[in-house]
Amino acid sequence: MENLTTVISVQINRQDKELATGILSKLGLNMSTYINMAIKQLINKDGVPFDVVNPKPSKELSEAIQEGEDILSGKIKSKSYTNMYELMEDLKS
């Protein structure tokens, strides 16, 4: 049986394409080879071959969110200001 090929066309963000192309180049691959690999994995796994999840915040962001929640709940006492001028004066001193 003859191995037939077909063409697909996708639209992606230009910067994403440039970043992906650079990574693939370092791996000795091109975009076409990678797309073929991804499709083969999709077929072999009978689904998306990686977790599709919401991105997790960085450790630093998670800590900042927790600190904000602690301030709001009263676990951490923090100084408050009624306007930005009070804040600016406090920062200057």
- Per-residue pLDDT of 21-46, as tens digits, reads 999 999 999 999 999 999 999 999 99
pLDDT of 1: 58
Q: Give mean pLDDT in consecutive 10-residue pieces for the chain, a chain of 93 residues.
A: 83 96 96 95 95 88 94 91 93 92
Mean pLDDT of the chain: 92
Longest CA–CA separation in the chain, Å: 82
Cα separation, 42 vs 73, in Å, equals 46
pLDDT of 55: 84
pLDDT of 80: 87
Cα separation, 33 vs 65, in Å, equals 41
> Where do runs of H (alpha helix) occur along the chain?
14-26, 31-45, 59-73, 84-92
